[in-house]
A and B are shown apart, each in its own frame.
Chain A
Amino acid sequence: EAGVTQSPTHLIKTRGQQVTLRCSPISGHTSVYWYQQALGLGLQFLLWYDEGEERNRGNFPPRFSGRQFPNYSSELNVNALELEDSALYLCASSDGGQGFGELFFGEGSRLTVL
């Protein structure tokens, strides 16, 4: 069974540009979560999608946005990139039922903003 997959694995952007990160959850999982892991700051919760709806949002500016598609895959969009957006962006999925609280993580997309 395939795990959570994320693309791209690495990317470099310059300030002011826009980026789209993609995530495919484990088959059968309906919830997708996005976290930002910046150096020295641990994991910061970004967004939670379930059944195509945004369920919760972390303390990030509106230029961070996303969506979940009918096949439960998800995109994270970041507009007007700033240097401090450089981080590892982790996507996770869960089935929300029996596996309460157990998130399955992808290996992340490492974004560098120059």
Chain B
Amino acid sequence: AQSVTQLDSQVPVFEEAPVELRCNYSSSVSVYLFWYVQYPNQGLQLLLKYLSGSTLVKGINGFEAEFNKSQTSFHLRKPSVHISDTAEYFCAVIAGDSSYKLIFGSGTRLLVRP
């Protein structure tokens, strides 16, 4: 069965600094990978997704992620964060086994400080 591990529960960073949120997955079959963001008191919103093709995926709000099959990772990066990026970020996976069930990691809270 597939699973997702987000190694950091909270990542504090200063405004305008770069940030990387880590995500590793486990699956014996091909995978589709996603990052979602949850702003305070809101539902989740899709940031970006990797289905196939280029391993570098660009999303909304200046975020990007790179699919690394050999390291089974899909880390999320942003070169310069803003206060408004403070939110909970979830990595998610669908295994290509027809379950089409999105499995989420436990989330990483990004805390951007002025």
Rounded to whole angstroms, the CA-CA distance of A33 and B101 in the bound complex is 9
- Number of B residues, CB within 8 Å of A: 23
In contact, A43 and B90 (Cβ under 8 angstroms): yes
- Of all chain B residues, which has the CB nearest A50? B100
- Number of A residues, CB within 8 Å of B: 22
In contact, A103 and B106 (Cβ under 8 angstroms): no
Query: Residue-by-residue, is B3-33 near A (CB-CB < 8 Å gives 1, otherwise 0)?
Result: 0000000000000000000000000000010
- Of all chain B residues, which has the CB nearest A40? B106
A-side interface mostly: loop
In contact, A100 and B103 (Cβ under 8 angstroms): no
**Interchain CB contact (< 8 A) of A42 among B51, B100, B105:** B105
CB of B70, distance to nearest CB on chain A (Å): 22
Rounded to whole angstroms, the CA-CA distance of A10 and B114 in the bound complex is 33
Binds B, one of A64-72, A73-81, A104-112: A104-112
Contacts A55-B100, A102-B46 known; 6 new A-B pairs at CB < 8 A: A42-B90, A56-B99, A90-B43, A96-B100, A100-B51, A103-B36
Q: Which residues of A contact B (CB under 8 A)?
A: 4, 33, 35, 40-43, 45, 48, 55-56, 90, 92, 96, 100-103, 105-108
Q: Which residues of B contact A (CB under 8 A)?
A: 32, 34, 36, 41-46, 49, 51, 90, 92, 94, 99-107
